[in-house]
Amino acid sequence: METNTFEKELKDIHQKLDFISEQMREYQQRQRELSELKNDLSLIAKDVFNAAVDELEDVAPYFDSGDMILLVKKLLRNTKNISRLLTQFESAEDLFSDLQPLGKQMFNQLLNTLNEMDKKGYFDFLRESINIVDTVVTSFSIDDVRLLRENIASMLLTFKNLTQPEMLSTIDNALGFFRKMDITVEKDISYFQIMKELRNPEVKQGMIFMLEFIKNMAKPNKNLVTEKQN
């Protein structure tokens, strides 16, 4: 009985020793891995440090530890301002997000408007207007344009007089008369017939009208003279 108990205890001790040995082997393995990692990190840190030293060597003349301390102090003093600025940026981002649908809607509306203008012929009209301007530019010299500028007041005044109701009525009557005019002139007309026609009151009235018209055409326009003097 005692022999069996002893063997059992011995077996338990061997099992515990095997477990402890296994744990020691795992611990040693982890230690080796940690040591290797430490060595690798040391090499990497050394390379990083050397690279940082080489890169910072260019800015060393412009850098002072006092400047860094001063910068940190300013950042600490302006923490509230920086926080407020970040809040404003967040608000601006929210506003931009809210305006995106509106901007898209306005862009679509602009495209629709341009499409309607194209259908109505606005762009064709603009294209032809540009061609008109090009024709004017290529057909007239600088001197012609200068003369136009100098006489634009007289031309506008003439156009103004032509657009008066009574003048438009007179021009319309004259054009209507020429459209309906059907006069047959005989080939052989004697001086006696001409003298006889001159005694006609209507002919006399027409001749007087023509003479007065020619006289008034020869007179300088007072309005034009005044415009030129001004």
Q: Is the pLDDT of residue 225 over 50?
A: no
Please report, in angstroms and rounded to a whole number, the separation of the first and last CA atoms in the chain.
147
Note whether residue 199 is domain-resident.
yes
Lowest-confidence segment of 52-61, 72-81, 202-211 by average pLDDT: 52-61
Note whether residue 60 is domain-resident.
no
| Residue 134 shares a structural domain with residue 162 | no
| Residue 157 shares a structural domain with residue 124 | no
Exposure of 223 by Cβ count < 10 A (0-12 exposed, 13-18 middle, 19+ buried)? Answer: middle
For range 105-128, the mean pLDDT: 88
| Residue 69 shares a structural domain with residue 135 | yes
The answer to whether 209 and 215 have CB atoms below 8 angstroms apart is no
Coil, strand or helix at 188: coil
Note whether residue 14 is domain-resident.
yes
Give per-residue pLDDT as tens, 179-213: 666 666 666 777 777 777 777 887 777 778 777 76
The answer to whether 228 and 154 have CB atoms below 8 angstroms apart is yes
pLDDT for res 178: 65
d(CA 27, CA 33): 10
| Residue 203 shares a structural domain with residue 168 | no
Note whether residue 20 is domain-resident.
yes
| Residue 164 shares a structural domain with residue 112 | no
d(CA 29, CA 191): 146
| Residue 133 shares a structural domain with residue 73 | yes
d(CA 7, CA 155): 137
Note whether residue 193 is domain-resident.
yes
The answer to whether 167 and 161 have CB atoms below 8 angstroms apart is yes
Domain count, the chain: 4
pLDDT for res 224: 47
| Residue 26 shares a structural domain with residue 47 | yes
Tell me what the pLDDT averaged over the chain comes to: 78
pLDDT for res 2: 61
Specify the DSSP class assigned to residue 8: H
Note whether residue 59 is domain-resident.
no
Give per-residue pLDDT as tens, 170-183: 777 767 766 666 66
Note whether residue 58 is domain-resident.
no
pTM value > 0.85 = no
pLDDT for res 72: 84
Note whether residue 214 is domain-resident.
yes
| Residue 121 shares a structural domain with residue 152 | no
Q: Is the pLDDT of residue 37 over 80?
A: yes
Highest-confidence segment of 53-67, 116-130, 139-153, 178-192: 116-130
Lowest-confidence segment of 56-60, 89-93, 141-145, 162-166 by average pLDDT: 56-60
Domain encompassing residue 71:
65-139
